[in-house]
């Protein structure tokens, strides 16, 4: 399991979303789960909009 603590992340732009999507695929390729901790409401909403939260 790979844990990413987003405690200090209040905003995420397109490049940040891309980096997160890349981390997700990398984790998947090595058979690991990517777990996000302390996701702010704003970032959570972005993940929902981009459908990244459901994968």
Partner 1 sequence: MTTFSSDGHRIRRARVDDAPDIAALFQLVYEASSHPCKVSEFVSDTLLADDRNLWLVSERGGELTGCMGMLLHPWNRSWEFVRGLTRPDCRGGGLATALAQHTTAVAWESDSCDLVIAFPRSRTMSRIITDAITPGFTVVGHDGGINIAAGQREYHLVALCVGHGRQSVDRVVPDNNQVAAQDFVQREVIEPLRVPGRAGQYPPVLIAGDHVRHPDYGPFTFEYHPFCPSDSIEITAYTGPKSDPCAIANDLVLTLESFEFVRHVRLAALADKTAFIEALCADGFQRSAYLPAWYLENGARYDCVLLTRRTTAEEPADHGTRNLVDHFSRGYHGRRLETHRS
5 vs 18, which CB is nearer to partner 1? 18
13 touching partner 1, by CB under 8 A: yes
8 token code pair: 């200090």
Question: What tokens appear for 42 in the block?
Answer: 């704003």
Q: Is the Cβ–Cβ distance between 54 and 36 less than 8 Å?
A: no
Work out whether 35 is an interface residue with partner 1 (CB under 8 A): no
Judged by CB under 8 A, which of 7, 31, 37, 51 binds partner 1? 51
Instruction: List beta partners, residue 4.
Output: 36
* Footprint on residues 15-34 left by partner 1 (CB under 8 A): 15-19, 21-22, 24-26, 28
Q: Which residue, among 35, 25, 28, has the nearest Cα to 5 in the 3D structure?
A: 35
Q: Does 55 bind partner 1 (CB under 8 A)?
A: yes
């Amino acid at each position: 399991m790979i844990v990413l603590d987003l405690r200090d992340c209040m905003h995420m732009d397109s490049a940040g979303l891309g980096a997160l999507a890349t981390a997700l695929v990398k984790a998947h390729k090595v058979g690991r789960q990517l777990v996000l901790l302390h996701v702010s409401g704003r970032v959570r909403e972005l993940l929902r909009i981009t459908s990244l939260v459901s994968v």
